[in-house]
């Protein structure tokens, strides 16, 4: 099967600093790729380039063989900050992209209600974002991105602002949806547990200038139950990744102190 996304020699320079070193990555259909790395390693920059929100200074990104040169509805995104439109209700937020596509209202509502139910927010359709908890807002944001039926889903530390317990529940929810829909996902995080539990592939990026240092298949079968986190396979991979990420965090700190 052809790869859905090809990242070829993509680099990003800010003035004189090289944030992202020529990076190559091939993403297959239905992959769930989690990207780990120390802060400032360019993992969010890479994701934003794929989203079309940032422009690479070299190389190219191909989606289904087409060069990406701007944001579009074919790549849905969930941000770390709460980006629901505060003037729209949960229902209207989920309908946002469907309205843009000019779908008939009845069809919009059918799709939106389906995804609202899927993220467990039935009964909250008329609520405004400010009336929801952080976890509920991110669930709405996931529903909003999925309702648009994008080719792939880009997630930039979507659960980073949530407390630990809520985050674990959100991971299970998203994984459940992925197991059912098999949407291709690129998921940036700095939580190693999260990266292993969610991903079918984990990528570790090096300290600045960022490049892909490690690329591992996650050998855990689906559907995954949260108890998988205590299996030897899980802890083994987690230990390896912890070691790898630690080296990079150290390197990033050393670079900071040297500067």
Partner 1 sequence: MNRATATLGTAAAVPAPATPRKRSRMKPLTPVSPGARIALGISFFVVFVAVWAIATFGGFVQKTFLADPVSMLQSGWVLLTEHGFAKDIGMTVFRVVGGFLIAAVIAVPLGVAMGAYKPIEAFFEPFVSFARYLPASAFIPLLILWAGIGEAQKLAVIFIGSFFSLVLMISVTVGNTRRDLVEAAYTLGVGDASLIRRVLIPGAAPEIAEQLRMVLGWAWTYVIVAELIGASSGIGHMITDSQALLATDQIIFGIIVIGLIGLASDLLFKWVNRRLFPWAQLGR
For partner 1, the binding residue among 38, 76, 158, 209 (CB under 8 A) is 76
Residues 6+ apart with CB under 8 A from 252: 38, 39, 40, 41, 207, 208
In the set 35, 41, 79, 248, which binds partner 1 (CB under 8 A)? 79
- Minimum separation from the CB atom of position 27 to partner 1 (A): 17
Residue 165: other Cβ atoms inside 10 A: 9
Work out whether 100 is an interface residue with partner 1 (CB under 8 A).
yes
Pick the stretch among 106-114, 141-149, 189-197, 251-259 that binds partner 1 (CB under 8 A).
Answer: 141-149
CB-CB neighbours of 43 under 10 Å: 25
Residue 120 binds to partner 1 (criterion: CB under 8 A): no
Binds partner 1 by CB under 8 A, chosen from 144, 208, 211, 224 = 144
Is residue 30 a contact residue for partner 1 (CB under 8 A)? no
Query: Does residue 148 interact with partner 1 by CB under 8 A?
Result: yes
Question: Binding to partner 1 by residue 134, rule CB under 8 A?
Answer: yes
Report whether 80 contacts 157 (CB < 8 A).
Answer: yes
Q: Which part of the chain contacts partner 1 (CB under 8 A), choosing from 85-93, 115-123, 205-213, 231-239?
A: 85-93
Query: Min. distance of Cβ 255 from partner 1 in angstroms?
Result: 28
Among 13, 60, 128, 228, binds partner 1 (CB under 8 A): 128
Find, among 32, 35, 25, 63, the residue nearest to 181 by Cα: 32
**What is the spatial distance between Cα 49 and Cα 147, in angstroms, rounded to a whole number?**
22
CA distances, 224 to each of 34, 206, 227, 234, 249 (Å):
16, 28, 8, 11, 29
- Contact between 40 and 208 (Cβ < 8 Å): yes
Any contact of residue 81 with partner 1 (CB under 8 A)?
yes
Residues 164-203: x where in contact with partner 1 by CB under 8 A, - otherwise, as a string = -xx-------------------------------------
Pairing of strands 152-156, 75-78: parallel
Among 72, 201, 216, 220, contact with partner 1 (rule: CB under 8 A): 72
The yes or no reply on residue 71 touching partner 1 (CB under 8 A) is yes
85 to 88, 92, 93, 161, 255: CA distances (angstroms): 6, 9, 7, 18, 39
Tell me the two tokens of residue 60. Answer: 């190219």
Burial of residue 44, with CB atoms counted within 10 A of its CB: 0-12 exposed, 13-18 middle, 19 or more buried: buried
Using the rule CB under 8 A, which residue among 143, 154, 185, 203 binds partner 1?
154
Residues near partner 1, by CB under 8 A: 51-53, 70-73, 75-77, 79, 81, 83, 85-88, 96-97, 99-101, 128, 130-136, 141, 144-145, 148, 154, 162-163, 165-166
């Amino acid at each position: 099967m052809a790869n859905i996304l090809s990242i070829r020699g993509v680099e990003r320079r800010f003035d004189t600093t090289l944030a992202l070193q020529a990076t190559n990555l091939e993403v297959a259909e239905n992959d769930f790729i989690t990207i780990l790395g120390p802060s400032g390693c360019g993992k969010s920059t890479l994701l934003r380039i794929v989203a079309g929100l940032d422009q690479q200074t070299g190389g190219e990104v191909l989606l289904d063989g087409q060069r990406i040169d701007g944001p579009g509805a074919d790549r849905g995104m969930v941000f770390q900050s709460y980006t629901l439109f505060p003037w729209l209700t949960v229902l209207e937020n989920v309908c946002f992209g469907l309205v843009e596509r000019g779908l008939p209202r009845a069809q919009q509502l059918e799709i939106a209600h389906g995804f609202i139910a899927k993220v467990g927010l039935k009964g909250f359709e008329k609520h405004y974002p400010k009336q929801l908890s952080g976890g509920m807002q991110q669930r709405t944001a996931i529903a909003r991105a999925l309702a648009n039926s994008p080719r792939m889903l880009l997630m930039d530390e979507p659960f980073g602002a949530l407390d630990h317990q809520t985050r674990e529940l959100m991971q299970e929810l998203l994984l459940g949806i992925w197991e059912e829909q098999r949407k291709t996902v690129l998921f940036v995080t700095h939580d190693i547990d999260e990266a292993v539990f969610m991903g079918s592939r984990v990528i570790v990026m090096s300290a600045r200038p960022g490049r892909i240092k490690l690329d591992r298949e996650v050998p855990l079968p689906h559907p995954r139950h949260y108890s998988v986190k205590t299996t030897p396979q899980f802890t083994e991979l987690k230990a390896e990744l912890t070691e790898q990420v630690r080296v990079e965090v150290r390197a990033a700190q050393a670079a900071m102190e040297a500067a």
